[in-house]
Amino acid sequence: MEQLIVSLVSGAVGGTAVGAVLKKLSLGRIGDAVIGIAGGGIGAYLASLVGVSGELLPGALDQTAGNGFNDVMMSIASGAVGGGVLLVVVGAIKGMMAK
């Protein structure tokens, strides 16, 4: 559950960051954050389907405690990437519909 929350929050951050960089695709701060949250959830879901987990990141801070740190880092990465990608897709669709 915690990893889902981390993915959603990092998705909001990722969507907002992409919206700030790519002004033409931005939906406004709130729109970017909302799309980012959805993208973060989708990114986390797709990462779990593919089987991406923290085991892909060698050298965790605490090797004896399992891969909790790696799982959190993968949740952050999948959420941020998912949020950014979904914002690009939605922004591009919005741009095409405006023409």
Among 7, 18, 5, which residue's Cα sits nearest to residue 86? Answer: 18
Residue 89, both tokens: 């897709």
The structure tokens 């959420």 sit at: 79
Domain boundaries, the chain: 2-84
Q: How far is residue 23's CA from residue 28's CA, in Å, rounded to a whole number?
A: 9
Q: How far is residue 83's CA from residue 13's CA, in Å, rounded to a whole number?
A: 8
Is the CB of residue 23 less than 8 Å from the CB of residue 52?
no
Instruction: Please tell me which residue, 61 or 33, carries the higher pLDDT value.
Output: 33
Residue 84 has pLDDT above 60, yes or no: yes
Is the CB of residue 40 less than 8 Å from the CB of residue 12?
yes
Lowest mean pLDDT among 3-12, 22-31, 46-55: 46-55
